[in-house]
Structure 1
Amino acid sequence: MLLEKLEPFGKNRYRLRPFGEMQAEVVVFLSPRLKAQFEEGEALKQLVDAACLPGVVSPVIGMPDIHTGFGLPIGGVMATDLEKGVVSAGAVGMDINCGVRLLSTRIKAASLDPQVLEKILAAIEKRVPSGVGKSSAYREFRQADLEAVTAGGAAYFIRRGYGLPEDEKSIEAGGAIPGASLKAVSRQARERADQLATIGGGNHFIEIEVVERVYHPGAAAVMGLEEGNLAVLIHTGSRGFGHQICTDYSARMNQAAAKYGLRIPSRGLAAAPIDSPEGRDYLAAMACAANFAFANRQLITFLVREAFMEVLKKPLEEIGLELVYDVAHNIAKVEEHRGRTLLVHRKGATRALPAGHRDNPERYRHIGHPAIIPGSMGTASYVVLGTGNIAETFNSVNHGAGRTMSRKKARSTVSMEEFRESLKGVLLRAKNLRALFDEAPLAYKDIDEVVGTLVDAGLTLPVVRLKPLAVIKGEGEEA
């Protein structure tokens, strides 16, 4: 049993030493409580499988929110050598650049009654469709210039008036991953690119929060986060466009494996040499999807700002809604680590550059950029910073709480009474509550325990804790 082979080797750290065909060791970050609850033998096997891929660099990492995925587990980090290694579509995930952005406000939560929050939610929902398969509510977004969007990302719309000039400075990679080429994207994927300004289903959401607690006043001030003020979280990705790209390239990589003499441990980890036609094309297509996702969250930000102004009857200057940061998870990026150039796959993991890192935006150069960790609906979310020790994880942190129940199990075991109780005090906009049982807080790990795992391990510093007040969720399951 793999679980029995996990050995402790430091605070909240467990490892599997290489055996069999493993080229690297596996490291999993778990608190004592999470370790006692850890039954994810399949997720651990997926990390072992990843450690068998050519050119993989030690260690392959499982974050404290780890749970079974397709290929690499959710909460998995895998780095491969740029010259000798492979790229895996499954190690990035189906929803390429599923990510989260945080907006600060100047509004005291105590100044708004629930009826006003309800009106704000309704105004957002009118503008931003939610649920699997939903298309944009606006023709100009459904028929946007896909070549320009996938090349320019968020900046394409910011420069056309759908945002503030300073937004561009607070997005990972400036809101555009280089190397995008629509020529690498199938016709079927292009046909699914009508979902800009939508949030989809699954764990995607728009939440209105209150900054409940500030742990690091200096960093919080730099981010514009003040205790007692409202904030907004937007969690969505590249929608059907990215999903189709992952599907296309997983199939293509599985077919190409024999050509390159690759032994693929599982279909979900289909891979190709980075410097092969399949590898280069995938990275070009992945960049298209990543930039589409950045653009998607930018348009939603614009529409959220419109909704707040409509309901509150105040100018944006008074409301705030300034972009704190936008971070990707489900992405592969070329980065420098330990004196080597690597391709870092993060699947359900978030980059967290420490203070002084040259790739930080200027405003965060001296503290490190915010890493945003949303909880499940009804539970807290966090903003953290990576410490000087974060290089241990290829500058990566967890992206959320992580599931304890499969979606199927949650649907069959969570009762309506339990669901309502778990959301007590949180306004929820949803057409069918029963369709959201798979996203009930009961189906997720304790976010405080998960975040605390890396804090206690010396890898992160908490900045603020956010408490949800109101949430928009879409129906349907998304990867």
Structure 2
Amino acid sequence: MSSNFNDVYYRRVDLPAGELHVFAHEDLFHAMGAKVLEMANNNMQIPNIRYMSYTPDAHVGVGTCIGTTAVWGMDNGFVSPSIVGSDIGCGMRVHLTNLHERDLQDVKLRRKLVKAIEKRIPVENHARGYFSDVRLEDVLRKGLHGLPGKYVPDAYTPRKATSLTHVECSRFRFDEGELDRIPEPAWHRSHRQLGTLGNGNHFIEIQALSINEDNRATAEKWGLKDGQIAVMIHSGSRSWGGAVNQYCGSQVAKTMRKLGLGTADPKLAYAPLDSEAGRTYAHLMYSALNFAVANRHLMAFAVRDAFRETFGSQAELSTLYDLMHNYAVEENHKEEALLVHRKGTTRALPAGHSGNPEPYRATGHPALIPGSMGTASYLMVGAAEGVRNYYSICHGAGRIRSRNATKQLVTVDEFASSMRIGQEDEIVLNHRALEALIDESPQAYKDVDRIIDSVVRARLADVVAKCRPLAAVKGV
């Protein structure tokens, strides 16, 4: 293996199976370790691959590293459940409020708000959600357009509407007949989970914004203000995505055996796009994307009610943006139809790109990048030079150690210190027993500021605002 170092923040790594493009400071690149290169080499053995890259938060995953972008042509391409990820449609959502950080200065008020959110959004992994009147089939088929009107409060006021327009995609279309392949128990479980958070690294976070002076004009066009309170939500397709993976995984494995496909990694799954297994996975994946965006929307609706309980009916939340970082979608690049996989990477389109939703055509859409619990998150905008990485940037800080290793190496006192527990600027958590969350402590992740710096210096995107955490709701 040899590396061609083009500059400090980008390198082409020549592997036996092909070229891997890495966008990261050289220190971050070397810290990734040999396993990520081994996994990349396996991924690039999938036939007809056009391109593969890592963002600076890349780390080992199942079959494929989190932080991967991989591209095939639509005419002879492959689709890979491993390069989509187990949580299909996992992504971010940010809402802007009409409150200022001084309104949440009192730590007791932040605790009250967290409790109000927890009343409406179950944090236990198998708890039932509060949206039993939403028809799961409508959500799977129509995405946000399948929700009852009362849960889309601005849908009929076009001048103020953001719920349906300020999203990466409000509805993914697919062959709805494929839904019949998913067994009935999965439908029941998934219906119960609409509007629920899930565990692991999923969260709802209350944040205060600081505008980047270099991009203040863009921030103003987005409606951002210094000190403004924002809500960031991170979740995905819950058990529906799991059911899609379970069913399609067996079908893809049969196809691989039939066609004699495979690599050194038995967990790396893929199938030709034009095979029955490939088509079925693609269609059902889109149903999971519809579930994911509706799930985040419903949680935001519940958070809106929690703000109103805490601050009164004048409290408002408007959608800034909703996007995904685990998916595969058809995109046009240089007038060619391509299937772009992103596993733990975020699309960041620049100003003027036709792929932007209309409200963001002139500026580029917000790219929503969470930090680790207790550290800053970022609102970014894509740069024109990002075309060289198919407009993909990082999706967060990226784990630096496993959950078990974190539990063994990080003490409760260290975790409490990082969350400012007992201080006036305490980052309020919904769990008082920190032991339950220690595997998600900031010490488990890379330095998000260095990740963002790599993205900016690699000329993939720019910072519009930094988001300081004030309170967080986590699942268990």
TM over 0.5, shorter chain? yes
Q: Which whole-Å CA distance do the structure 2 matches of 1:190 and 1:431 have between them?
A: 34
One-letter amino acid of the structure 2 residue matched with residue 155 of structure 1: H
Residue number in structure 2 paired with 1:430: 431
CA RMSD of aligned residues (A): 1.6
Q: Deviations over 1:238-266 (max 9, x none)?
A: 11111221232223212211223323442
Alignment of 1:457-476 (within 5 A): 457-475=458-476
Contact (CA 8 Å) 1:52, 1:265: kept in 2 or not?
A: no
One-letter amino acid of the structure 1 residue matched with residue 54 of structure 2: G
Alignment of 1:126-145 (within 5 A): 126-140=119-133, 144-145=134-135
Q: Tell me how far 1:188 sits from its aligned partner.
A: 4.5
Contact (CA 8 Å) 1:99, 1:236: kept in 2 or not?
A: yes
SS of the residue 1:356 aligns to = coil
Contact (CA 8 Å) 2:21, 2:54: kept in 1 or not?
A: yes
Residue number in structure 1 paired with 2:173: 178
Q: Which whole-Å CA distance do the structure 2 matches of 1:446 and 1:248 have between them?
A: 37
Residue number in structure 1 paired with 2:27: 33
Q: Deviations over 1:34-87 (max 9, x none)?
A: 235x143222211111111112112x1111100000111111111111111110
- Assess, with a 3 A threshold, how the Cα gap between structure 1 residues 306 and 450 changes in structure 2: closer, same or farther: same
Q: Which whole-Å CA distance do the structure 1 matches of 2:25 and 2:94 have between them?
A: 27
SS of the residue 1:267 aligns to = coil
Q: Which whole-Å CA distance do the structure 2 matches of 1:138 and 1:324 have between them?
A: 23
Residue number in structure 2 paired with 1:397: 393
SS of the residue 1:183 aligns to = helix
Q: Deviations over 1:370-404 (max 9, x none)?
A: 11000011000001111111111111111000010
Alignment of 1:249-328 (within 5 A): 249-315=248-314, 319-328=315-324
1:204 and 2:202 correspond: yes
Q: Give unmatched runs, 5+ long, in structure 1.
A: none
Residue number in structure 2 paired with 1:90: 82
Q: Which whole-Å CA distance do the structure 2 matches of 1:186 and 1:334 have between them?
A: 28
1:336 and 2:328 correspond: no
Contact (CA 8 Å) 1:158, 1:164: kept in 2 or not?
A: no
Contact (CA 8 Å) 1:90, 1:246: kept in 2 or not?
A: no
Q: State the identity %.
A: 37
Q: Tell me how far 1:180 sits from its aligned partner.
A: 5.3
SS of the residue 2:205 aligns to = strand
SS of the residue 1:153 aligns to = helix
Q: Which whole-Å CA distance do the structure 2 matches of 1:214 and 1:226 have between them?
A: 10
Residue number in structure 2 paired with 1:14: 11
One-letter amino acid of the structure 2 residue matched with residue 84 of structure 1: N
Q: Which whole-Å CA distance do the structure 1 matches of 2:181 and 2:383 have between them?
A: 37
Task: Return the match for 2:146 from 156, 161, 172.
Answer: 156
Q: Deviations over 1:121-143 (max 9, x none)?
A: 11110000114333313433xxx
Contact (CA 8 Å) 1:12, 1:453: kept in 2 or not?
A: yes
Contact (CA 8 Å) 2:151, 2:301: kept in 1 or not?
A: no
Q: Which whole-Å CA distance do the structure 1 matches of 2:6 and 2:41 have between them?
A: 18
- Assess, with a 3 A threshold, how the Cα gap between structure 1 residues 355 and 185 changes in structure 2: closer, same or farther: farther
Q: Give unmatched runs, 5+ long, in structure 2.
A: 156-160, 421-425
SS of the residue 2:189 aligns to = coil
Alignment of 1:50-65 (within 5 A): 50-58=43-51, 60-65=52-57
Q: Which whole-Å CA distance do the structure 1 matches of 2:359 and 2:89 have between them?
A: 23
Q: Which whole-Å CA distance do the structure 2 matches of 1:56 and 1:362 have between them?
A: 32
- Assess, with a 3 A threshold, how the Cα gap between structure 1 residues 285 and 109 changes in structure 2: closer, same or farther: same
Q: Which whole-Å CA distance do the structure 1 matches of 2:144 and 2:124 have between them?
A: 22
More displaced 10-residue stretch of structure 1: 126-135 or 89-98: 126-135
Q: Which whole-Å CA distance do the structure 2 matches of 1:398 and 1:278 have between them?
A: 30
One-letter amino acid of the structure 2 residue matched with residue 296 of structure 1: N
More displaced 10-residue stretch of structure 1: 290-299 or 110-119: 110-119
